[in-house]
């Protein structure tokens, strides 16, 4: 079972019936917080999902990255532009 972040909880209440797709893997918790904040400022619906699992003591985060960012497919290009800006690439 994955840990649900505050962004997940907020987005579930004001979801817009669009299907969310995986946009990118998030590298760490700081990137997750920064990305979520910027996406919210731009009114881009999104979910940030952590791979944290206490049962396996962070094993999945070590192998798969910190988590994922999901958004409706219509926002994919906008989200990727912001991700690249956050990562400085």
Q: What is the pLDDT of residue 64?
A: 73
Q: What is the pLDDT of residue 13?
A: 42
CA-nearest of 60, 52, 48 to 24 is: 48
Q: What is the pLDDT of residue 53?
A: 67
pTM as predicted:
0.72
pLDDT tens across 54-67, in order? 666 655 556 678 89
Could you tell me which residues come within 8 angstroms of residue 83 by beta carbon, excluding any fewer than 6 positions away? 23, 24, 35, 69
Domain coordinates in residue numbering, the chain? 6-87
Q: What is the pLDDT of residue 52?
A: 75
Strands of 20-26's sheet in order across = 20-26, 67-72, 47-50
Q: What is the pLDDT of residue 57?
A: 61
57 or 87, which is more confident?
87
């Amino acid at each position: 079972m994955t840990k649900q972040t505050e962004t997940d909880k907020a987005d579930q209440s004001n979801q817009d019936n669009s299907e969310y797709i995986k946009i990118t893997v998030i590298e760490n918790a700081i990137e997750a917080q920064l990305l979520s904040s910027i996406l919210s400022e731009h009114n881009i619906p999104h979910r940030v999902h952590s791979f944290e699992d206490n049962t396996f003591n962070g094993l999945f985060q070590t192998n798969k990255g910190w988590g994922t960012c999901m958004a409706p497919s219509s926002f994919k290009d906008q989200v990727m532009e912001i991700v690249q800006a956050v990562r400085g690439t």
